[in-house]
Amino acid sequence: MDNLENMFRGQEKLARQSTITSIMNSKQKTSTPVKNHMLMLMGFFAEAIENGAKLDYNTQIEMVFKTLSKDFVGFKAAYNLGNKELGLTELMRQMQAYELMINDGVLVQSKGGANLAVAASLGHFRNKKKKQKQ
């Protein structure tokens, strides 16, 4: 029975190390929307914690910032100066707003077309507003 427990602990440790390595090797590409990147990282964080990693809030934020593209240098500086303490979901929302701002209000499109639904819904919202004004 002890051998079986040791075997599972070994697998848990390997899974934890693999997940942490995946986080640290993640780099956001300029063509990847920040939302997609953050959702991927949040999945890695959940998996690492499930496998026994002790990732506190500040460690997770540091890991997120280290994986962002150079486009987010200004966001990181503002975040550090403001000494904000946001949850990962709120951080993702603020980074999405920043992403829109630096791209002149244009959504970053991922290659898979994941944001097409967002663009379509925004178009529907704009059309609805126009109809209300008339």
pLDDT in tens, 84-133: 778 899 999 999 999 999 988 777 775 444 433 333 333 443 444 444 44
Share of the chain above pLDDT 90, in %: 35
Tally of structural domains, the chain: 1
72 contacts 33 by C-beta, under 8 angstroms:
no
Is residue 23's pLDDT more than 90?
A: no
Query: What was the pLDDT predicted at 65?
Result: 93
Task: For residues 112 and 109, give the distance between their C-alpha atoms in angstroms, rounded to a whole number.
Answer: 8
DSSP 53-92: ----HHHHHHHHHHHS-GGGHHHHHHHHHHT----HHHHH
Choose from 10-14, 37-41, 76-80 the range with maximum mean pLDDT.
37-41
Q: Give me the domain span that covers residue 58.
A: 2-133
Mean pLDDT of the region 48-68: 90
User: Where residue 70 falls among pLDDT bands split at 50, 70, 90?
Assistant: very high
Mean pLDDT taken over the chain: 78
The predicted structure's pLDDT at residue 87: 87
Whole-angstrom distance, CA of residue 119 vs CA of residue 109: 9
